[in-house]
A = this chain, B = another copy of it.
Amino acid sequence: MSTFVLVHGAWHDGSAWEKTVRHLESNGHKAFAPTMAGHGKSAPRNVDHAQCTDSIVRAIVERDLRDFVLVGHSFGGTVICKVAEQIPERIRRLVFGNAFVLKDGNGLMDEVPANYVALFEKLFQDSPDGTIMVPFPIWRESFVNDADLETAKWTYSQLSPEPYQPCKDKLDLKKFYSLEIPRSFINCTEDIALPPGEWGWHPRMSSRLGVYRLVQMPGSHETIYTNPALLADKIIEAGRD
């Protein structure tokens, strides 16, 4: 029996993990999916990356969780690296699920291709509250490419605008890169949220983990919605000793 802490990505909140949590629990595990500061339909958006991290650390410490597997999806990868720096002794293993593993000193925006930079800057400039919202056509083709249109629309309805500041904040990751916590990378083979190749998730992000375990599964960036049962199985494979 393991304990999993599941950290969501951009536009999501903890509720995105609902079905994954259920599958993990039905396999005899415990799972918690806190919502980061600045995320969720009604939360105020004026947060930076440190506040995102602190809110996850707080959720873990309040429950006094120990010896757990810390899972990050997408943007959540940047957060679990910083959480690991604060409370390394509580973490049994880190699992990055098509997640950012930033180079020391970079922010997320330093690691996405120019077309995303241009799009997000424009969305930010047009936004009244410093957020960016992924346009549906991009979401439908690049994020939930394995869903039918009805599912794609439903998943889009679950999203809320992402505060831009945490995506821009440059992160000091020197301590993270000195940690010796075991780590795994789950790669969904049809994930094109980052374009495959030079800018792709795998092996670009995964290779930065040093000695790591690779687990792959079919599916898009959003198997959290389109295949939560298999995602839970793969989180178990990735998270075991």
Contact = CB atoms under 8 A, between A and B. Distances in A.
Interface in A10-65: none
B190 A216 contact: yes
Contacts of A182: 141
B213 A141 contact: yes
Interface residues of A, number: 32
A168 B207 CA distance: 26
B240 A148 contact: yes
A165 to B, nearest CB: 26
A203 B196 contact: yes
B216 A141 contact: no
Contacts of A218: 216
A24 B30 CA distance: 42
A145 interface: yes
Interface string A174-205: 00000000100000011010011100101110
A149 interface: yes
Interface in A206-236: 206-207, 211-216, 218
A88 to B, nearest CB: 17
Contact of A149 (B141, B203, B211, B241): B241
A44 B138 CA distance: 44
